[in-house]
A and B are shown apart, each in its own frame.
Chain A
């Protein structure tokens, strides 16, 4: 552990571990049946994002990244779940079965295909840079964005769709922390507050939808209706 080469090796490994588990949580959000499970997966994913930011911050000796990690932990793993818990009625969380457009194994396989697409799409970018962290963070981040978009497409419930959007945002951050380690804190703060506002608005919207129609299965609301 004393020689610096080995220490960087451990950091790269830990960052890779965070990346791998990040991918797994993104897959979990596609496959999870319970709404509450989706939310706790999102919390886990945000913690992994913060862990990756901290590892990178330690490696680059950058205080900005530590600030990013703290903001992520505070906003995404505490504030957003709490806000969603307050705005979305409890009955939504207790429901166990969530309808999906495709069955779960099929959508998992499509997710694997998306990850491979992300890998090939970023391979030329990775060749341009020489950092060991870029190799993990950029493809995993892009995969997070794609899987999040896919979650929004394939899920019919409102709350998992919100989770898909937040998953996209997490993916973008995951790639961002390694591309721009010296992002001004004001930009980070703005982005983080944006996400909170988005979550709040969507939570309230979900509440309104449920009050009007008695369901949060937004996938069924295909036709406009005059009252």
Chain B
């Protein structure tokens, strides 16, 4: 029991300390693929460190929402990290406190408060970015619903630990058509939710075109650091759900010794590196969609998830 609690804490620490690294590697590779040298992979750590040592400026017009939001954005991915398989293949202490849907709700709570805080300061760009994020969010919602519905339909559960075991035994389950289609649909969701290129340009500096970034413009000092770190953790957690539960359920620790759990850390990071490479290729080969084309992108994701459900129905 104490071991399981310990491993749960280790999971949270892994999410906290390696999430800026994933962002850094992603940014670096993106620059490399454009024949530029790019910032160091440690740059996100330096940014967060620097911001923690700066003064914070809070507008007098803002309310408590603005002051609390960085903490909520920072804490929600940690809660989700308690629920999902980050390192171990067997359920840990908090595993049955909530399922994948619960994790989705917790993550969207952070998003909700970030949106409120963006509107709170009455910065025009904040409200614009907030309404756009909501638009992407509510278009992604039905896809999430159908994906979770299909997953529970196939695996008989929405608890991630049960789901990822279902793909492995027998192996033919992995090649099930609905599983492959779900992977495609969820990839599109990860891109939309993570604010990656066909939907949003995370490295753009033009406020009028921003979707996700403009919500954090008003934060400074510690608040900005927590928002940045929380955003990186949210992305890391999404990748963990996608890779460990849906795409590659291998490489997680099976034994209950600390050594095996420690061995799982580089394996999981390797999987994430592989996915980051795919993401970089996607980002380099596509252009950002116009705002009203995002409907079509997520409509495509919706159709894919519905096709997954229908093929499952057909197999009977």
Contacts and interface: CB of A to CB of B under 8 A. Distances in A.
A65 B26 CA distance: 46
A20 B303 contact: no
Interface residues of A, number: 29
Interface stretch (B61-69, B156-164, B175-183, B261-269): B175-183
Contacts of B304: 24
Interface stretch (B95-103, B211-219, B292-300): B292-300
B296 to A, nearest CB: 5
A6 B170 contact: yes
A111 interface: yes
A140 interface: yes
A31 interface: yes
B316 interface: yes
Interface string A19-53: 11101100100010000000000000000000000
B311 A23 contact: yes
Nearest to B174: A13
Nearest to B300: A31
A20 B178 contact: yes
Interface string A84-123: 0000000000000000000011001101100110010000
B315 A135 contact: yes
Contact of A10 (B175, B177, B180, B313): B175
Interface string B277-311: 00000000000000000011001101110111011
Contacts of A131: none
A119 B314 contact: yes
Given A6-B172, A31-B296, A116 B177 contact: no
Nearest to B304: A24
B295 A20 contact: no
A105 B299 contact: yes
B306 A112 contact: yes
Interface residues of B, number: 26
Interface in B179-193: 180-181, 184
At the interface, is chain B mostly helix, strand, loop or mixed? Answer: helix
A19 B170 contact: no
A17 interface: yes
B183 to A, nearest CB: 11
A136 B172 CA distance: 17
B177 A19 contact: yes
Contact of A13 (B177, B303, B310, B313): B177
Interface in A109-152: 109, 111-112, 115-116, 119, 135-136, 139-140
A14 B176 CA distance: 7
A14 B303 contact: no
B296 A23 contact: no
A115 B307 CA distance: 9
A103 to B, nearest CB: 8
Interface string B37-76: 0000000000000000000000000000000000000000
A16 interface: yes
B315 A16 contact: yes
A20 B183 CA distance: 13
B180 to A, nearest CB: 6
Contacts of B314: 16, 19, 119, 135-136, 139-140
Contacts of A17: 175-177, 180
A116 B296 contact: no
A19 B296 contact: no
Nearest to A9: B172
A220 to B, nearest CB: 23
B306 A20 contact: no
B300 to A, nearest CB: 6
Interface of B: 170, 172-173, 175-178, 180-181, 184, 295-296, 299-300, 302-304, 306-308, 310-311, 313-316
Given A17-B176, A104-B296, 4 more contacts: A6-B172, A20-B307, A23-B310, A108-B300
Interface of A: 6, 9-10, 12-14, 16-21, 23-24, 27, 31, 104-105, 108-109, 111-112, 115-116, 119, 135-136, 139-140
